[in-house]
A and B are shown apart, each in its own frame.
Chain A
Amino acid sequence: MAVSKKVLVNLYTRTLKVRLFEEKVWDLFGQNLVPGTLHLYLGQEAVAAGVTAALDKSDWIQSTHRGHGHVIAKGADMNAALAELLGKATGSCKGKGGSMHITQFDVGVLGATGVVASGIPIGVGAALSCKMRGTKEVVACFFGDGASNNGTFGESLNMAAIWSLPVVFVVENNLYAMGTPIKMMCPSIDIAERATGYCIPSIVVDGNNALEVYEAAVEAVKRAREGGGPTLIECKTYRQRGHSRFDAAKYRPPEEVEFWLNRDSVEKIKKIVIEKGALTEKDAEKIRTKLQKEVDKAGEFAVNSEYPKPKDALDDVFAEVL
């Protein structure tokens, strides 16, 4: 696939933006400003970047408990995203959701959910709606390797297949569900194999390579948009940190960790983009400086924002307060 320089720059920028956002979150967390738990997207940036770069603004994504990266890559306002993580009234969910529910509907995010695999059917339903409303919109539905062991996974693939729905299932196989290696819980090496049973085309890609993810996503999105039905893309990737807040991830062999740290998603796309002549090292630095400024500003905005008032807890249960 011939990929334009513009797209290459876009891939680099998206991947890096997610990285810098997550580093900021980690920094704020270190300052004790992020309440509750946290599932960082560090290491998996190329998946969100590659998939969302293949989508239009009017397309949708369905996210997970590890959703910061999806939302930022889809173009979410970083001020509102960071403020949400800090539990501020200016957050996109007014402080009601936090890390596990980070969501911005206005850029096409259908929700981040704390219940593993619960987003898959919602993604299918959104795709059904795209079709029934006669649009050309497409849904990209993200979920983890662990989620693919939940019943909703099979039910969703089947429903999407029989109705030929415009959905792209994106399995982020980071090899673990909390401390559980996927190889203990899935009899095949690739989760993608499961798609075959539902007559859904699938592909396995290097999830740390934004370009590879992008190319697979472009094909899947095209298929979906043209009425060809769902595709499953399995992205092999890796968490650079533990599962959540205090997990030191001691259950992962050091060689494995090192192997994956050496395939860093940001470094990878940077190298590709420079090699293909889309950016010079200097351009890349410029982009980084600019993004870092944006992220820092968002951090300040979030930190300086007010917390909600306690009684705000009663709002938004229904359209009208009963």
Chain B
Amino acid sequence: MAKKTYRDALKEGLREEMLRDERVFLMGEDIGLNWGGAFKVTKGLAEEFGEERVRDTPISENTIAGAALGAAITGLIPVAEIMFGDLITLAMDQICNQAAKMRYMFGGQTSVPVVYRSVFGGGKNIASHHSQSLEAWFMHTPGLKIAVPAFAYDVKGLIKTAIRDPDPVMFFEHKLVYDKKEEVPDEEYLIPFGEARIRREGDDVTVWGTFQMLHKSLEVAEELAKEGISVEVIDPRTLMPLDKKTLIESVKKTGRLVLVTEETKTGATTSEIAAIVQEEAFDWLDAPIKRVNAPDTPVPFSPPLEQFFIPSGERIAEAVRSVV
């Protein structure tokens, strides 16, 4: 077993699936020879598999999404990359009206084995069109599975599952986690959808979050342990299907819940999680559920503004302290 970056683990997952099944191919803007993907995830794959299977496309997001869909319902398994999560807005028709509804609307006649990869999150001072976290939009679209890996081990196991899934999968990454490293096994493994992972065990407060906020929450949990607060940190790993069981059990144990994501607060994934927990574990709650999110604004450019926008470790710590 070796330590690998999230980026490399993800690439390995893609590579293994391409080797295993020749129906798998990649398409997207600048994913091929000249660039290797805006975040270099696919670097080297065009060299290995050729430009047919690692296919550079024009800047045509809606048609990338739709063409991937068309290929998926006729025998191929496309992994389409939308360079930035913000740009999925341009592909919403094909993803949300077409891919998401195709199995249902046509009465189960077809599978839709397509994966849409994209990346969310701020922290790079690239402003309102390149920094958003829009995962909740897709939770609100029945028919889409949603993976939100935050760690190297998970991203590899989840991309392989995503590619083998017969339904459309939104596969979301985060800009600030590509360089994070952890142990990744050499032998093949898959991670089933709908299984959360407890990244840190604790007794006093449950923290549920995604992406970079999980990494921050783990740091905060380490700090708070010194103050005698024992924090359990849960990574859902997929939002659809959602592992309610792990979450509810944790809340029943700790009686306290803090939800942390980089999304703007209103209508975020955390809103849904809070609703679920109060429906299913109200009697076990010893304190109101706390949400730590970004304010309801676009993502600003200037460093002091963006730092204010993105939830800080301090804000997470305060929220945890406020419920114990």
Q: Which of A's residues lie within 8 Å of B, judged by CB?
A: 35-37, 87-88, 91, 93, 95-98, 100-101, 113-117, 146-147, 149-151, 177-181, 184-186, 251, 307-314, 317
Q: Mark B295-320, 1 if CB is under 8 A from A, else 0.
A: 11110111111111100000000000
Report yes or no: B302 in contact with A35, Cβ–Cβ below 8 A: yes
User: Is B140 interfacial (CB-CB < 8 Å)?
Assistant: no
Report yes or no: B305 in contact with A100, Cβ–Cβ below 8 A: no
Residue picked from B33, B34, B127, B129, most chain A C-beta under 10 Å: B127
Known: A36-B124, A310-B308. A96 touches B59 (CB 8 A): no
Q: Which B residue's beta carbon lies closest to that of A94?
A: B302
**How many B residues touch the partner, as a band?**
35 or more
**CA gap between A297 and B246 in the complex, in Å:** 60
Q: Which B residue's beta carbon lies closest to that of A84?
A: B301
Which residues of B are found within 8 Å of A179, using beta-carbon distances? 30, 34-35
Which residues of A are found within 8 Å of B33, using beta-carbon distances? 251
Report yes or no: A312 in contact with B305, Cβ–Cβ below 8 A: yes
Report yes or no: A100 in contact with B129, Cβ–Cβ below 8 A: yes
**CA gap between A307 and B29 in the complex, in Å:** 35
Q: How many A-B residue pairs have CB under 8 A?
A: 129
User: Is B324 interfacial (CB-CB < 8 Å)?
Assistant: no
Report yes or no: B304 in contact with A310, Cβ–Cβ below 8 A: yes
Which residues of B are found within 8 Å of A35, using beta-carbon distances? 125, 301-303
B94 to chain A, nearest CB (A): 11
A124 to chain B, nearest CB (A): 17
**CA gap between A310 and B306 in the complex, in Å:** 8
Known: A307-B302, A313-B295, A314-B297. A36 touches B34 (CB 8 A): no
Residue picked from A113, A179, A309, A312, most chain B C-beta under 10 Å: A179
Please report whether the interface of chain B is mostly helix, strand, loop or mixed according to DSSP. loop
Report yes or no: A117 in contact with B301, Cβ–Cβ below 8 A: no
**CA gap between A313 and B309 in the complex, in Å:** 7
Report yes or no: A98 in contact with B125, Cβ–Cβ below 8 A: yes
Report yes or no: A178 in contact with B308, Cβ–Cβ below 8 A: no
Report yes or no: A178 in contact with B303, Cβ–Cβ below 8 A: no
Report yes or no: A317 in contact with B298, Cβ–Cβ below 8 A: yes
Report yes or no: B305 in contact with A36, Cβ–Cβ below 8 A: no
**CA gap between A202 and B298 in the complex, in Å:** 38
Report yes or no: A114 in contact with B301, Cβ–Cβ below 8 A: no
24 A-B pairs with CB atoms under 8 Å apart are A35-B125, A37-B124, A93-B301, A95-B302, A98-B125, A101-B301, A115-B89, A146-B58, A147-B59, A178-B29, A178-B34, A179-B35, A180-B29, A180-B34, A180-B35, A184-B56, A185-B56, A186-B58, A251-B34, A307-B303, A310-B304, A310-B308, A311-B308, A313-B297
Checking A114, A180, A308 against B130 with a beta-carbon cut-off of 8 angstroms, the contacting residue is A114
**CA gap between A115 and B124 in the complex, in Å:** 17
A102 to chain B, nearest CB (A): 10
Which residues of B are found within 8 Å of A113, using beta-carbon distances? 129
Q: Which A residue's beta carbon lies closest to that of B296?
A: A317
Residue picked from B33, B56, B57, B87, most chain A C-beta under 10 Å: B56
User: Is B90 interfacial (CB-CB < 8 Å)?
Assistant: yes
User: Is B110 interfacial (CB-CB < 8 Å)?
Assistant: no
User: Is B111 interfacial (CB-CB < 8 Å)?
Assistant: no
B130 to chain A, nearest CB (A): 6
Checking B38, B63, B129 against A115 with a beta-carbon cut-off of 8 angstroms, the contacting residue is B129
**CA gap between A37 and B90 in the complex, in Å:** 22
Which residues of A are found within 8 Å of B56, using beta-carbon distances? 180, 184-185
Report yes or no: B305 in contact with A313, Cβ–Cβ below 8 A: yes
A46 to chain B, nearest CB (A): 24
Q: Mark B43-56, 1 if CB is under 8 A from A, else 0.
A: 00000000000001
B299 to chain A, nearest CB (A): 9
Report yes or no: A87 in contact with B125, Cβ–Cβ below 8 A: yes
Q: Which of B260-279 contact A (CB under 8 A)?
A: none
**CA gap between A181 and B58 in the complex, in Å:** 10
Which residues of A are found within 8 Å of B126, using beta-carbon distances? 36-37, 98, 100, 114
A193 to chain B, nearest CB (A): 16
**CA gap between A179 and B56 in the complex, in Å:** 10
Known: A36-B124, A180-B56, A313-B309. A100 touches B130 (CB 8 A): yes
